[in-house]
Amino acid sequence: MFDVLVYLYEHYWRPDAFPEADLLTRKLSAVGFEAEEISEALTWLEGLTQAASTEPIQPQSSSVRIYSSVELEHMGPEALGFLQFLESAGVLSASQREMILDRMLAISGAPVSLEDLKVIVLMVFWSMGEEPDALILDELFAEEGERVLH
């Protein structure tokens, strides 16, 4: 499913630029994606569209997000650390965080890998028509082994 999401991110400048679902399914199938992963990705994107259209959360500046045990189990420590990094860097709003959590919980299997979480974060920004700054894009795309420590 994540390969389909990355493909869509790379080939469509925003979600509303997709063709209709049947045509998109045929195009993705012609590229070589399996029917099951196409279906999963399109269902997941439908949920993302619904989450993006809901009223954004406006917490007070002094509020603290407490994660449920289900969220923590599904996220795992690496993903939780990365999500907290994005929040503390001021890159992620509360409503974006909640969209990410919603879409993360929509994925079967736990914990979600850090690489999968990065795709989810990228897709949330993309669905909102926002592009993270260059340093955050580097965090989202760079593999751990590719980093050069100074």
User: Average pLDDT for residues 122-145, to the nearest whole number?
Assistant: 71
Per-residue model confidence as pLDDT tens digits over 36-88: 999 999 999 989 888 877 776 666 666 788 899 999 999 889 999 999 988 88
Range of the domain at 75: 2-146
Closest C-alpha among 134, 111, 97, 122 to residue 45:
122
Average per-residue pLDDT in the chain? 83
pTM comes to: 0.81
**Count of domains forming the chain:** 1
Angle between helices 35-53 and 94-105 (to 10 degrees): 150
